[in-house]
Structure 1
Amino acid sequence: MTLHTLSVSQDPSEPGFVQDPYRFYAERHRNSPVFYWEEYGMWCVADYDQVNGLLRDRRFGRENRWGAPLNPVKGRGHLTDFDRIESGSLLEREPPAHTRLRTLVNRAFVSRSVERLRPRISALANELIDALPAGQPFDLLPSFATPIPLTVICELLGVPVNRADDLLAWSHAMCEMYVPQRSRQTEERANRASAEFGAFLTAHIEEHRHNNADDLLSALIAVRDTGEKLTDDELISTCVLLLNAGHEATVHQTGNAVKTILEQGGDPRRFFDTPEAAAATVEEALRFDAPLHMFTRFAYEQIDLGPVTLNPGEQVALLLGAANRDPSAFEAPHEFRPGRADQKNVSFGAGLHFCIGAPLARLELQQSLSVLFSRLPDLAIQAAPRFRDSYHFHGLESLPVC
């Protein structure tokens, strides 16, 4: 087959696609699960087995060995602060740097069991519900979906929750760098946010070194100061990654999950009547309408993808949202079926870069949604929810409910 026959044009900002990318994915599954997406200028993979395999294939990686953020790129001086933070992020590195960073971060992360946070998440969910306007419509995203993961990751790291508005603004500005066809203004805004985020963390880390707090940031500082250690830049990059990733995707997934569950009709409590049912419901929500739909990799050698051979330095886009709806991998993929026997979603990735925060995200979703529907079983959507124009992130603009 030629590039011409496998080349597909789909504007990711086209309203119909923004609201329902799954029709496009279904067409790709029928016709060409490996295709060249013209608007992105790269090859994409929609097939579940191939996406799952490529996530684990060490011939591919996240690290750009030919350009930013690790290597200078002409005309990119306005992104110096953004690239500095990205270059120290374990998300953007490969072994041996990734192995060292992830070992240090994971050592601090798993030393405090995620499970112990369950009562705090439950209490926080109840507090937020208590504060809702009685009998009046409200937007679930700022009222419930956002505060829970943001508060939890701030408390876990030891970052003041009263800076939440700043953290949200910095995070949103930096995440806009991953939206296609970004403007110079977007890039400059992301760089300013990176500089401000870095300055805030530098000062906060210095204060934190002397207070002997029992939190993740203190653990990371201790790791940095004894034996194998994080450099100053790596410590800041790690905190930025944990703060951004620790709430952004979970907010989107909470909104998507509530929308999906309410659209099933009936009593939503049936999906959460046991801990096992809650876990199965969350896994199916992650598969059915994931918060991240694309994850890119660089080819490190010449690799045959079937209809095309990638050369070193070329990128491939792994379409997680499409893989999760692949009819060759899932029975009735467009049906919401908690507890399905073929549950194997790739929403957290796989392999070396499997999401380090997956256990925390799962716990937050299970506990917060269980409390929400236990307290508000008659919750109903008040207006048709609309998704934000921000592919490859996939989340709602708002979710008005009552």
Structure 2
Amino acid sequence: MLQTFPSRPDYLSFDPAKRRVSLDPHEPRFVQNPYEAYAYLHAVAPTFFWEEYGFWCVSAYADVNRLFRDKRFGREKPGGYLAHVGTRDHLEAFDRLEAASLLELEPPVHTRLRGLVNRAFVSRQVERLRPRIEALSHSLIDAIEKEGKADLLPAFATPLPITIIAEMLGVPVEMGGQMLDWSHRMVAMYMHRPSRQVEADANRASAEFSDFIRDHARRRRSAEGDDLLSLLLAAQADGDRLSEDELVASAILLLNAGHEATVHQAGNAIRAILMQGGDASRFFATPQAGEATVEECLRFDAPLHMFTRWAKEPAEIAEGVSVEPGDKIALLLGAANRDPASFAEPHNFIPSRADQKNVSFGAGIHFCIGAPLARLELQIALRVLFERLPKLRLVEEPRFRDSYHFHGLETLRCAWD
């Protein structure tokens, strides 16, 4: 039988002999629907060299899942963070945070830092937040219900996770807007080839955010409580456990990671559910249905599409594709979650699917520390939203931001009157 492949998008070029792909990540059609390109690449080259980035990319679910756990690869380039970026005076504040960030480190430092904060994010601890998340979800709906319409990104998807993570850390919730601004300016650095202006702005945001955390920590030392910042301060008092740079970097990482991806996933999930038609509340008819729906949302339209790793030693990442120490590779989470080799009907939204799984939170030692919290926030917030606003509908087709590898909406304008 003649095998047929998905057609090649005309904005993508592919050299089959070298497995090299040219695809501008800012191409508007790719930004709005990366899954068309992913489907083609799954068929012709699940592992390919992305010219615009300059490294090998892996899109098959099984390979992404395996490489996340492969100890020959890590987040830290051999020689340390500065071996990767060098000396960059205009990014001194940003690099200082990154060099001490849990996300960029490997054992034994990673093990020590993760152990300090992990107990606050295990499922049994997160479950204690259920009443607060539910009450906050209702209060956000109370604030907009009579209006009959709203952009649900700033009105609902954003304030919930930033409020919860700020309360967990013990930083002023009223600073939420400012922390969001700092976060957005910093994560712009992770985009494809940021401009010098974006770099300078990210550095200013890093310096301002760091100063805020340092100042707040100094004032909190005399009034520590049972929040995460107090836990970090107690660890800093034992000098061999946490330096001041590690304290600041850990607090900022938790604040940024505690809302950035969750906001995108909430927006993507609301859009996906509303596009199914009918009574959206049916997806949350029981707790089990709600959990399955959230897992399908995480698979169907993930908030993070690329996660990079460094090779620590020579390794083969796919048949005929080898890398050397210091080479970077990318794991394409959004593509892996739509892999036809691992999912039946990968492009259909099926919460009841028997093959329910995803790599949206990663795997291995860098599995997202906030995954239990993000899942709980999504399960509660989405249920409350669709129960309280049963006539919820899109008033325009939402558009995705040009921000690969983060995948989230610009706006989410809805009505329910």
Report the TM-score, using the length of structure 2 for normalisation: 0.93
- Please state if 1:319 is matched with 2:335: no
Structure 1 residue 66 displacement after superposition: 4.6
For residues 138-157 of structure 1, the aligned pairs below 5 Å read: 138-157=150-169
Please name the residue that 1:268 is paired with: 280
- Structure 1 CA distance for aligned equivalents of residues 296 and 260 of structure 2: 19
Residues 81, 104 of structure 2: 8 Å contact kept? no
- Structure 1 CA distance for aligned equivalents of residues 192 and 147 of structure 2: 40
Please name the residue that 2:197 is paired with: 185
Structure 1 residue 4 displacement after superposition: 5.2
SS in 2 for 1:298: strand
Identity %: 61
Give 5+ residue unaligned stretches, structure 1: none
- Please state if 1:91 is matched with 2:103: yes
Q: 2:139 aligns with which of 116, 124, 127?
A: 127
Q: 1:182–1:67: structure 2 CA closer, same or farther, 3 Å change rule?
A: farther
Q: 1:61 aligns with which of 51, 60, 74?
A: 74
- Please state if 1:225 is matched with 2:233: no
Q: 1:30 aligns with which of 23, 43, 46?
A: 43
Q: Which amino acid aligns with 2:155?
A: S
For residues 331-346 of structure 1, the aligned pairs below 5 Å read: 331-346=344-359
- Structure 2 CA distance for aligned equivalents of residues 304 and 251 of structure 1: 36
Structure 1 residue 68 displacement after superposition: 4.0
SS in 2 for 1:387: coil
Please name the residue that 2:12 is paired with: none
Q: 1:243–1:353: structure 2 CA closer, same or farther, 3 Å change rule?
A: same
Q: Which amino acid aligns with 2:169?
A: L
Residues 262, 380 of structure 1: 8 Å contact kept? yes
Report the TM-score, using the length of structure 1 for normalisation: 0.96
Q: Which amino acid aligns with 1:302?
A: P
For residues 195-344 of structure 1, the aligned pairs below 5 Å read: 195-226=207-238, 229-305=241-317, 306-344=319-357
SS in 2 for 1:36: strand
Q: Which amino acid aligns with 1:180?
A: H
- Structure 1 CA distance for aligned equivalents of residues 352 and 85 of structure 2: 48
- Please state if 1:390 is matched with 2:403: yes
Does 126-135 or 156-165 show the bigger shift? Answer: 126-135
Q: Which amino acid aligns with 2:105?
A: R
Give 5+ residue unaligned stretches, structure 2: 1-14
Please name the residue that 1:159 is paired with: 171
Q: What per-residue deviation string (whole Å, max 9, x for no partner) do you get for residues 316-353 of structure 1?
A: 11000000000000111111111321112000000010
- Please state if 1:10 is matched with 2:23: yes
Please name the residue that 1:379 is paired with: 392
Q: Which amino acid aligns with 2:270?
A: V
Residues 220, 230 of structure 2: 8 Å contact kept? yes
Structure 1 residue 227 displacement after superposition: 7.7
For residues 102-117 of structure 1, the aligned pairs below 5 Å read: 102-110=114-122, 113-117=125-129
Q: 1:85–1:112: structure 2 CA closer, same or farther, 3 Å change rule?
A: farther
Q: Which amino acid aligns with 2:345?
A: A
